[in-house]
Amino acid sequence: MRETWALRIAALTALAVVLLAALFARVQRGERPGSPGPSPPPAADAALVEAGRRVYDREDCAACHSIAGAGNPRSPLDRAGARHDQEALRRWILGDGEAASALPRRVAHAKEEYRQLPAEDLDALVAYLRSAAGG
Ligand code: HEC
């Protein structure tokens, strides 16, 4: 009788150890236990998106554009990141290619200034517009 209890306790302890190990493995991979769906974007992406938000503010894109209701309501950028791929977003930001002919001349000219931006600022802007924060 006593042996049976000892065996049960040993089995339960072993089970608890295995479950805890699996839980720790998930936490280590950055998944919240019990949360389905994909894990959050890697930290590098989050940093790039945040850098893009700063470039957007610094370059005063909100003079002509709005995101989530903030800025100039005339040209909302909400969901622009979903409508355009990265290359098209670049052309729209820079007033290049097909975007140049679609934009009013004055605007296309203003956007040409962004060609002075360092490549990493442009990458960050594109990441920001493609993120949930950028609409
Ligand atoms: C002088 C005004 C002006 C400024 C400043 C400006 N834009 Fe634009 N932008 C426009 C106009 C006008 C369009 C044409 C599309 C529209 O009317 O929504 C446009 C289009 C775009 C589009 C495509 C939108 C779509 O829904 O297809 C993107 C992306 C964009 N701009 C990003 C930017 C970013 C990022 C900045 C800042 C670095 C910026 N723009 C600065 C006027 C401006």
| pLDDT tens digits, 82-109 | 999 999 999 999 999 989 999 999 999 9
Longest dimension (CA), the chain: 91
Distance 37 CA to ligand 1 centre (A): 33
Query: Is 125 in contact with 60 (CB distance < 8 Å)?
Result: no
Q: Which residue ranges have their beta carbon within 6 Å of ligand 1?
A: 56, 59, 61, 63-65, 75, 77, 80, 83, 89, 92-93, 103, 107, 110-111, 114, 125, 129
User: Which residues in 75-98 are b (16+ Cβ under 10 Å) and which e?
Assistant: eebeebbeebeeebbbbbbbbbee
pLDDT tens for 114-134 read: 999 999 999 999 999 999 777
Q: Are 94 and 131 in contact (CB under 8 A)?
A: no
Residue with CA nearest ligand 1 atom 2: 64
Question: Which of 57, 59, 75 best tests ligand 1's pocket when mutated (most atoms within 8 Å of CB)?
Answer: 75
Contacts of 120 (CB under 8 A, 6+ apart): 51
pTM of model > 0.85: no
